[in-house]
């Protein structure tokens, strides 16, 4: 079962009421149930639910209660998964992987380019060893982890960090760069790993998925930028590349 479908089921179980697909997506992202770097997770969520209903009909986990609004199917029937159903689900899963891959790699190349313009000898890692970009300047090495998110309808960017990876690479020369994408431009939040650790302790970043990961929610409110809530204004870290030193 793919992450979008499973997270939708979990959100609707908790809500106990029909929800618009955009609200399902928002709650799934903010709770950390859903981890994606796709450019339009709302559109993907809608497609996943629609395909499930269309292919499985009475055997679907979902029912449509109003335009673009869904609930859990209270009368779900056990059905045999035919080749048509399997192929339809596989096609949607492949779309998710491809879309997320484009967005994730696009973010990495964008950050790598910014580092090169700033005099870093930067390159994207060919093998996943826990950091996305290695960068050297003035003889000093920096490991860069890149996370990319598209702004949703509520002016929120959602990110996810795996706890195992964070614990392993929580060092002074490791930086997390959050790429904030909208239709006009890209901005960057540059966070040293010790700042991530501090924000976890301050509950600006919280544990999710049985404490196997961390959810980061960056919000734009009245031309200010916050991490988690309005108690944690992070304008200092916005496009502040001088922190990498």
Last residue of a domain, one of 97, 113, 131: 97
Examine the pLDDT at 229 and tell me if it is beyond 90: no
In a domain, 166, yes or no: yes
Contacts of 82 (CB under 8 A, 6+ apart): none
Residues 88 and 154 in one domain: no
Number of domains in the chain: 2
Assigned domain for 207 exists: yes
Instruction: Using the structure block, give the residue that is written with the tokens 């709650």.
Output: 27
Residue 115 resides in a domain: no
CA distance 96 to 16: 27
Same domain, residue pair 56 and 133: no
Q: Are 67 and 150 members of one domain?
A: no
Segment 151-196, tens digit of pLDDT: 887 888 988 888 888 888 777 799 999 999 887 789 999 999 999 9
65 and 11 within one domain: yes
Mean pLDDT score across all residues of the chain: 86
In a domain, 105, yes or no: no
Domain that holds residue 210: 122-243
As a whole number of angstroms, the distance between CA 151 and CA 185 comes to: 11
Q: Tell me the mean pLDDT in the region 45-70.
A: 90
Answer whether residue 116 is part of any domain.
Answer: no
Q: Are residues 142 and 86 in the same domain?
A: no
Residue 1: the pLDDT is 43
* 148 and 230 both lie in a single domain: yes
CB contact at 8 A, 94 and 86: no
37 and 136 co-located in one domain: no
Give the whole-number percent of the chain exceeding pLDDT 70.
89
- Does residue 235 belong to any structural domain of this protein? yes
Strands (DSSP E) found in 21-139: 62-66, 69-72, 121-124, 133-137
3-state secondary structure of 82: coil
pLDDT, one tens digit per residue, over 1-45 is: 448 888 899 999 999 999 999 899 888 887 878 877 666 788 888
Give the integer Cα–Cα distance in Å for 203 and 227. Answer: 10
Last residue of a domain, one of 63, 97, 131: 97
The predicted pLDDT at position 173 comes to 92
CATH code, 185:
3.40.1350
> 132 and 93, same structural domain?
no
Beta-ladder partners of 147: 178
The pLDDT-based confidence of 123 (bands split at 50, 70, 90) is very high
């Amino acid at each position: 079962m793919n992450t979008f479908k499973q997270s939708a089921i979990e959100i609707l179980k908790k809500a106990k009421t029909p929800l618009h697909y955009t609200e399902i997506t928002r709650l799934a992202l903010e709770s950390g149930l859903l981890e994606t770097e796709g450019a339009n997770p709302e559109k993907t969520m809608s497609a996943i639910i629609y395909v499930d209903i269309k292919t499985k009909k009475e055997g679907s986990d979902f029912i449509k209660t109003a335009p673009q609004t869904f609930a859990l199917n209270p009368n779900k029937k056990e059905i045999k998964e035919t080749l048509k159903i399997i192929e339809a689900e596989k096609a949607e899963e492949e779309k998710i992987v491809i879309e997320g891959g484009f967005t994730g790699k696009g973010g990495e190349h964008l950050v790598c380019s910014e580092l090169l313009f700033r005099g870093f000898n930067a390159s994207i890692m060919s093998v996943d060893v826990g950091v996305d970009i290695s960068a050297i300047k003035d003889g000093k090495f920096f490991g860069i982890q890149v996370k990319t998110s598209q702004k949703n309808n509520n002016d929120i960017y959602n990110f996810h960090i795996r706890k195992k990876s964070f614990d392993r690479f929580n060092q002074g020369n490791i930086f997390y760069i959050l790429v904030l994408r909208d239709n006009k431009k890209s901005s960057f939040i540059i966070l040293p790993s010790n700042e991530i650790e501090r924000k976890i302790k301050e509950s600006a970043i919280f544990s999710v998925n049985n404490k196997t990961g961390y959810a980061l929610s960056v919000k734009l409110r009245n031309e200010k930028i916050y991490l988690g809530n309005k108690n944690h204004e992070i304008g200092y870290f916005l496009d502040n590349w001088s922190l990498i030193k």
